[in-house]
Amino acid sequence: MGKQSMGNIAYNELCRMDTLLYLLVYPQRPLLTTRTIELVGYDKLGAGQNATVAVMSYSGYDIEDAIVMNKSSLDRGFGRCIVMKKYSAINQKYENNTSDRILRPDRTGPAAERMQILDNDGIAAPGEIIRPNDIYINKESPIETRGTMVSSTGQSDSKYRPTRQTYKGPEGETCVVDRVALCSDKNNSLCIKFLIRHTRRPEVGDKFSSRHGQKGVCGTIIQQEDFPFSERGICPDLIMNPHGFPSRMTVGKMIELLGGKAGVSCGRFHYGSAFGEPSGHADKVETISETLVRHGFSYSGKDLIYSGISGCPLQAYIFMGPIYYQKLKHMVLDKMHARGSGPRVMLTRQPTEGRARNGGLRVGEMERDCLIAYGASMLIFERLMISSDPFEVQVLAHACYKGLYHLLHCTLQDNIYLVPQVCRVCGLLGYYNHKLKAGICSTCKNGDNISTMKLPYACKLLIQIWEAFLLYL
């Protein structure tokens, strides 16, 4: 219902070309509404599903607001969603009257396998299953884009280089090309838009929320036969931990559960508002409870539940009934990330940052502090240098621990392997002369006292920046 939930977004949702669109496969109308919801027509476009919720603890995977989900419910379509993402390609026109061109796909050759989903026009066909590294448009761009005017048609193949666009989606998932739209952009060049669809079922870590701000991630998914059941045969879709209630005081959620339960048993949508009872815009909890009793449930909305694992009745009565649950757009599939070795930033030679750039996970200041406090010096050394940006420099070092030479001795006492190739006279950075095959100190103009040392590249960078304004370490 809010900005993060999924459901129907509009009646024309399937005719649109949004950059990113989240839809629910089976949206439902809430069992418990309010007058306002009816007035604004919010129940006309579903934004969630009515889940049978049991308020109890189960398996321990429901601590800290996590929820336990029933696998059979997920199999049957609960929380299933469609993610549509737009990818576009422009058939660019250039200054010298040349333009990009789209070629028919290679049916043989090295790239043929990656071009399987292309139609003969070189554009991915709707309905095709697209996998990571598949080419969705077989485009070529002219090498020469400036200078003298060229006739737009008569360019030989050698004047073009391939600028194919490859799909980079989640590995191991099957996505489908939903729609392809061809249009012209503001520069009047051909623009091709691909809408790629991915249907996802909920998995551990996906975020769900009721309409009372009680959000939580899916902690675990459990088989239906292990789930608790009532003697009527009702088995919850979802188990929520009761610790979510006392501090948050979401009484509305409890009323929703009662009202929803009364709603399903008597076949009337109830109002869940806390106000307006005299005017009939809200149902009193007493009347709701009486409806429950009339249909054979207990007054309090609690049921006797049997454990699905042992078959024995649970000691406590469980508060169970339908609550409208929304799936929020934060899904693990879009967020999970890990990296071994990978790309680095050019400037600092440190690993990149962020999931999109396949970045590393930072050992920050606080983490470093912990390691220092623990005394794990070799671990700090590894994280901050070996795994980050090690660099070897030629340094001119002074005999009495000076500058970098001093720094080096503090960190590495073992100067058998790492005889510091540092100038032992001035303590400044030298360089390696490939002609002489020796380190040279540009300050002393010789290579007598040169040593090599290892230090973070970022550190070397800092030293050089300082040297640039005549600050010598």
Partner 1 sequence: MEGVSYQRFPRVKIRELKDDYAKFELGDTDASMANALRRVMIAEVPTIAIDLVEIEVNSSVLNDEFIAHRLGLIPLTSEKAMSMRFSRDCDACDGDGQCEYCSVEFHLRAKCMGDQTLDVTSKDLISSDHNVVPVDLADSYAYDSSDQQRGIIIVKLRRGQELRLRAIARKGIGKDHAKWSPAATVTFMYEPEIHINEDLMETLTLAERQAWVESSPTKVFDLDEATGQLKGCLLLQEVVVVDHEAYTYDEEVIKKAEAMGKPGLVEIYGKEDSFIFTVESTGAIKASQMVLNAIEVLKQKLDAVRLSEDTVEADDQFGELGAHMRGG
Chain residues that interact with partner 1, rule: CB under 8 A: 14, 25, 71-73, 75-77, 80, 82, 127, 176, 178, 197, 199, 223-225, 229-233, 292-299, 302-304, 306, 308-313, 317
The distance of closest approach from Cβ of residue 77 to partner 1 in the complex, given in angstroms and rounded to an integer, is 7
Give the integer Cα–Cα distance in Å for 131 and 167: 7
The distance of closest approach from Cβ of residue 233 to partner 1 in the complex, given in angstroms and rounded to an integer, is 4
Q: C-alpha angle with apex 340: 334 to 346, nearest 5 degrees? A: 90
- CB within 8 A of 395, min separation 6: which ones? 403, 404, 405, 408, 420, 421, 422, 423, 427, 428, 429, 430, 450, 451, 452, 453
Give residue for tokens 């889940």.
51
Asked if 285 contacts 258 with a C-beta cutoff of 8 angstroms, the reply is: yes
Asked if 449 contacts 469 with a C-beta cutoff of 8 angstroms, the reply is: no
The distance of closest approach from Cβ of residue 172 to partner 1 in the complex, given in angstroms and rounded to an integer, is 16
Dihedrals phi, psi of 181, to nearest 5 degrees: -120, 135
Active site residue 237: no
Asked if 194 contacts 180 with a C-beta cutoff of 8 angstroms, the reply is: yes
Task: Name which of 104 and 294 has its Cβ closer to partner 1.
Answer: 294
Dihedrals phi, psi of 125, to nearest 5 degrees: -90, 140
The distance of closest approach from Cβ of residue 289 to partner 1 in the complex, given in angstroms and rounded to an integer, is 10
Give the integer Cα–Cα distance in Å for 367 and 373: 10
Give residue for tokens 């870590």.
205
Inter-CA distances, 406 with 227, 384, 399, Å: 66, 19, 9
Asked if 325 contacts 207 with a C-beta cutoff of 8 angstroms, the reply is: no
Task: Name which of 316 and 386 has its Cβ closer to partner 1.
Answer: 316
Task: Name which of 2 and 77 has its Cβ closer to partner 1.
Answer: 77
The distance of closest approach from Cβ of residue 271 to partner 1 in the complex, given in angstroms and rounded to an integer, is 23
Task: Name which of 44 and 355 has its Cβ closer to partner 1.
Answer: 44
The distance of closest approach from Cβ of residue 25 to partner 1 in the complex, given in angstroms and rounded to an integer, is 6
Task: Name which of 311 and 340 has its Cβ closer to partner 1.
Answer: 311
The distance of closest approach from Cβ of residue 227 to partner 1 in the complex, given in angstroms and rounded to an integer, is 10
Catalytic, out of 18, 43, 62, 65: 65
Dihedrals phi, psi of 429, to nearest 5 degrees: -70, 135
Give the integer Cα–Cα distance in Å for 286 and 281: 15
Give the integer Cα–Cα distance in Å for 250 and 227: 25
Task: Name which of 91 and 291 has its Cβ closer to partner 1.
Answer: 291
Task: Name which of 77 and 390 has its Cβ closer to partner 1.
Answer: 77
The distance of closest approach from Cβ of residue 223 to partner 1 in the complex, given in angstroms and rounded to an integer, is 7
Give the integer Cα–Cα distance in Å for 234 and 283: 25
Task: Name which of 193 and 302 has its Cβ closer to partner 1.
Answer: 302
Query: What six digits make up the tokens of 410?
Result: 């503090």
Helix segments in 186-275, DSSP class H: 251-266
Inter-CA distances, 107 with 113, 118, 126, 295, Å: 8, 10, 19, 66
Give the integer Cα–Cα distance in Å for 353 and 188: 37
The residues annotated as belonging to the active site are 65
